[in-house]
Each structure stands twice: as structure tokens, then as C-alpha cells.
Amino acid sequence: MISQTMQDAINEQINKEMFSSYLYLSMAAYFENTGLPGAAKWMYVQSGEENEHAMKLFHYLVDRGGKVALKAIATPQAEWAGPMAAFVEVYAHEQLVTKSIHDLYEVALAEKDYATQVLLQWFISEQVEEEKNAAEIVDSMKRIEAHETAVLQLDHRLGKRGND
């Protein structure tokens, strides 16, 4: 059985992961509306991954005999100043998620919940990849920000995500 403290913390993280999915879905809509279907596809894939992360926590909580308590998902932003601003937000958001996962790990340590610590190792590794991917896109955007054709080339590359 999982402790109430751990259960509450995991439920909070489920909500954060679902918000992340919702945020990236909103960004996909933004990119669709601005004529960047590759960036939209990248965001669709990202949204799906965040949903999978929430469901991984959801099922883990159920498997441990805990109670899932879903909460309202905050409304995400719908407009950005441009592609760079959106991807800068992706990077900043992933850094917040990383902090949240680390905080959750601290709860698992305090609760001496070894099973949750093992689960969270996967999330910690995943966040390294998430931050790296976002940072690389921001770095690419910085290099090409003034060149509209280059943005379209990057959009084409982003559209290949999930086809690997």
C-alpha cells in the first residue's frame, strides 16, 4: 500500500503531466494556424508522450493500491510571439517538469518508498532527454531566427519526428 503523502504527490504529478500534454496540444494548434505543420507534428508527438507519462503514473498508483484523484487541468496559453517564443517556453516548461520530478523523488525518499524511487528513476532519465531535445531546437532557432527559409527547413525536420 502506498502512503497518503506519496499518493497525493503522485496525483499532483499526474495533473502536471496532463497539463503538459494540454500545453503541447495548444502549441500544435498554434503551429497549425501559423502554417508550420512540422512543428505542429512535433508538438502532437510531445503531447502524446506527456499523456503517456501521466498514464504511467496513473497505472502505477492503481497498481500500488492507491486512489487516483484527477483534478481540473488549467487552460494553457494559446498564442505565442512566434516559433522561437513557443520553443523557449517548451524548454522552460521541461525545466519546471524536471524540478517537479525531483521534488516527487524527494517525497519518495522521505517516505522510504523504494518502489516509487525506482519508478521515478525512469522519469529522471526521461527529463534529461526532454530538456536536451528542447534546448537543441531553441539553439537551432537562435541560429536561424532571422532567416524565414531556414525556419521552414527546421519545420520540415521537426515534421519527421515519430517516423524514425
Quickly list H helices, 64-113: 83-110
Amino acid (one-letter) located at 114: Y
Number of Cα atoms under 13 Å in the Cβ half of residue 47: 16
- In tens digits, the chain (164 residues) has pLDDT values of 899 999 999 999 999 999 999 999 999 999 999 999 999 999 999 999 999 999 999 999 999 999 999 999 999 999 999 999 999 999 999 999 999 999 999 999 999 999 999 999 999 999 999 999 999 999 888 877 766 677 777 778 888 887 65
Q: Which amino acid is residue 88, in one-letter code?
A: V
Tell me the C-alpha distance between 40 and 29, whole Å. 7
In CATH, the number for domain 4-158 is 1.20.1260.10
CA-to-CA separations, 20 to 144, 145, 147, in angstroms, rounded: 27, 25, 30
